[in-house]
Amino acid sequence: MDLMQILGYVGAVFIGLVLGLIGGGGSILTVPVLVYLLSINPVTATAYSLFVVGSSSLVGAGKNIQKKNVKFKTALTFAIPAVIAVFSTRKFIVPAIPEEIAQIGDFMLTKDIVIMLFFAVIMLLASFSMILDKKSDLKESSDVSKAEKSTFMLPVLGVFTGLITGVVGAGGGFIIIPILVILAGLSMKKAVGTSLLIIAINSLLGFLGDVTHMQIDWVFLLIFTALSMSGIVLGVYLNKFFDGSKLKKAFGWFVLVMGIYIIYKELTL
């Protein structure tokens, strides 16, 4: 095992550690760790990420179900169209993208580069969400007209979120939570718990779209996921000793730098 592989497995623990410490965001690092440290191609990495993110979110969702912080009706209204979008994206759209998309001078724009660039944009958006921490300003709504509107809008936004999740392999909590608070009128705690259940459903069922046409290294994937889970346990324990909001902003800056680095790396090959 070389140094990069060791760093990759350490990265798996770090992903879980961040999830345990700040309650989200760590999964955005799964694809970069798999691609740049463990030399897994981006399409496979996004598939593996869905499994890791889904498994981690399922653990978090289970804890929130025990605390009665999950709104099942809202979760299913959002998750059913979202998971159809994720599954369809992984099974049909991603495989249909040509390996070579365009030649720009001496630069060849490939499928792998497009996926990583799109992923970098999502990382930048997630970093802004963490740095600005707008979630603390979100207010739940009990307005009846908004509740009625959410019946139509939640499935539409579920499809949109599912498409993004399907392409980049990230959970999309930074998109889902504001939607649940503003549109569905959930409290912050219930939005976080419901979001975890949605992410678990989206990611794990979406991952099935890859199983039928992709060679999965189950031994590696289960080891990586187990390491990430151990990081979550450690992070939840350490959470008592740290200010979560400060950690989230610091991690947001780290994700911002990583997003910029990915764009630079992919465009200067």
Top pLDDT among 105 and 261 is at: 261
Q: Does the pLDDT at position 253 exceed 90?
A: yes
pLDDT given for residue 105 in this prediction: 85
Top pLDDT among 143 and 158 is at: 158
Q: Does the pLDDT at position 269 exceed 80?
A: no
pLDDT given for residue 10 in this prediction: 95
Q: How confident is the model at residue 265 (pLDDT cuts 50, 70, 90)?
A: very high
Encoded amino acid at 23, one letter: G
For residues 29-36, give the mean pLDDT: 93
What is the distance between the alpha carbons of residues 220 and 5, in angstroms, rounded to a whole number?
11
Q: Does the pLDDT at position 137 exceed 70?
A: no
What is the distance between the alpha carbons of residues 97 and 91, in angstroms, rounded to a whole number?
11
User: Would strands 107-110 and 100-104 be described as parallel, antiparallel, or unpaired?
Assistant: antiparallel
Q: Does the pLDDT at position 262 exceed 90?
A: yes
pLDDT in tens, 43-67: 999 999 999 988 988 888 888 899 8
Q: Using N-to-C axis directions, what is the helix angle for 188-211 and 144-168, rounded to 10°?
A: 40
Q: Which residues contact 229 (CB under 8 A, 6 or more apart)?
A: 16, 55, 56, 59
pLDDT given for residue 212 in this prediction: 79
Q: Percent of the chain at pLDDT above 90? A: 46
10 Å CB burial of residue 40 (0-12, 13-18, 19+) is: buried
Q: Does the pLDDT at position 145 exceed 70?
A: no
DSSP 114: H
Encoded amino acid at 265, one letter: K
H or E element at residue 109: strand 107-110
Q: Of 80, 9, 41, whose CA–CA distance to 225 is shortest? A: 9
For residues 65-77, give the mean pLDDT: 92
> Is the alpha carbon torsion for 204, 208, 210, 215 positive or negative?
positive
| Entry pTM | 0.86
For residues 219-233, give the mean pLDDT: 92
Structure tokens at 115: 């996926």
Q: Does the pLDDT at position 135 exceed 80?
A: no
Q: Percent of the chain at pLDDT above 70? A: 92
When the pLDDT of each residue in the chain is averaged and rounded to a whole number, the result is 86
Q: How far is the CA of 163 from the CAs of 67, 92, 157, 238, in angstroms?
A: 30, 12, 10, 34
pLDDT in tens, 197-225: 998 898 898 898 888 788 999 999 999 99
Q: Does the pLDDT at position 26 exceed 80?
A: no
DSSP 183: T
Taking the chain, what is the end-to-end CA distance rounded to the nearest angstrom?
Answer: 26
Backbone φ and ψ for 115, nearest 5 degrees, come out as: -60, -45
Least confident window among 12-16, 96-100, 211-215, 252-256: 211-215
Long-range contacts of 105-112 (CB under 8 A, 24+ apart): 107/267, 111/42, 111/43, 112/41, 112/42, 112/43
pLDDT given for residue 124 in this prediction: 93
Judge contact between 35 and 117, C-beta under 8 A. Answer: no
What is the distance between the alpha carbons of residues 43 and 128, in angstroms, rounded to a whole number?
25
